[in-house]
Structure 1
């Protein structure tokens, strides 16, 4: 599934109609959540019927397209099913009990309620809300896809305007030549990551960089009278600062992940639990600013697109274990150099990167989520070995990397033969 996004242009009346449609979606979703709270045995199809009931009771709900109302009920059921799944999995802490939404920012249409122009440069919404024709501007070309391939159309409101997204049903695959390289990545705060070869990528720290401007915008919001137009304008300026930082972080993750995947046949990284790491209030801001999870999601996505193996390993003792002799050398976070009795002296993160690579190549199964059962950016499972990767893994068995277990590589080869 591909998602193409375009900036939309219209008049104030059209944007007001979009806001009304977004509020209607929020109303329908919250009504469905209330129905489930009152009758916990309510199922997915009961919520779907509720959209038609609300359309008969409320005239403003009837103005919204029927497929958009169904999409709103699906959002409610998504929150409910996620709560059920968390309860069954017995995860620790809060289970994500469904809540009423207060800040919905999008409305989603399915197969009806919209029509693309022949030149694919504008879109017309045909429901009773009165949105009408909106011009689109973007870098993507929709002429390569048929209208029946577009499964969803979503209108999104952001701080800098309104956008339209197209969800296109297509399997993205790209073929590139094998590089015969493997890499282990150790993410950190001093540098974004250090690989098993000792190369470091600088941590951009987008939040820290924009924090000064953010604080200034926040002071302007605090000085304005609540409910005034000036306060509303100040809030928009603050939201744009946050939006720019999030876009910078996403762009950095996408470009870096694509570069790593296309440059290596096998990529091994840590199976970190960010939710647990941010409990340290001293490092929470820096960890969130780094965006490790977003980087991992795009690694797994591009691994599927380019048919590369991506493996997540348990990060336990990767910084303490010696990559040369395997002994445990305990060190604090402030110690940045690994020094072992065997004579091995490496940068702490470089040593961890080698251990991560050895751990990934030395075993097929592991604890946690990895490329065999992980979900990528498109929501589909990725596979550890596909097609021509068998030859690349054969090359791994011949390459001399410290402390790679031959037995684990043989298991990897046998697994690849079964997959093919």
Structure 2
């Protein structure tokens, strides 16, 4: 892949740019194998799963700069200026077209770009997501609600220019700090969620819900986990850090298990997962998603109750557990609970950080890796996703 922004020194986010993709993939695979060598025998590694080396991102995160009527969309550069990145080659085609059309929409809206150095202006960032059905979610991150009327007035122009914009919102970020979004979201369209249809499972993505950046590779990851769950002969599955329910609902849809339960800290994501389960026609009680923190709400292993379950768990116990934590991993407390979980025979761990994954595996010595695979969500960079199948010995 060749990139004019990289060649000009404007953006260096793609640290592997210029290296042939086959070499990138081989180097990344070797790196994660080395990092997990203490836990995974070389023979247990499957071939890495990859997709296209460009045109793969389903998300755009654009800082807004410039001036009113002449905005710049891209990344922060020197002294708070914004360097244009509207022709980045990583975006999916429908997203790439939308990103290139956005500066005109912003210019016509009359919204004033936020000036980081002066701490003035209103429009800070624009966040976009593209679905497999080529629909878009467009989120305008504003400094205050005072510009909502102006944004509402611009909505018709936006939807005329971007007819695939199904969900449009305003996110409010009054503080001056290095984050992309604030806690409050105002939905400006009839639809409040984007349908991410993956292998005929219509996952509902709300504005602040997490979904993998690379839809092609996410599809491969869901299929692999479903295959592992089917192979171990489990009938029930719990999905911790479940987000909008991707792992659990794909396993249920494929008939790999008969019942699933998910735990996720975001109530909005939980609502989305339950909505998808209903639309799939899941029988009552076979797909239940609840709001909670997996690191706290399962209860410590040392406080196991009379039935042998960790204190605080919902009734019953799964035959297979799926965990997909943030970069910090599941941590020592949850690893100890899983290590001492009665009757839990199998765990699937999906990780974006082999350092925390290695640490967590060391804390669960009775669970041995039976298979492992790299999923290259982030070509052109060292970022990675690794999934491992664990079995109690």
TM-score using structure 2 length = 0.28
Bigger share in strand: 2
Bigger share in helix: 1
TM-score using structure 1 length = 0.27
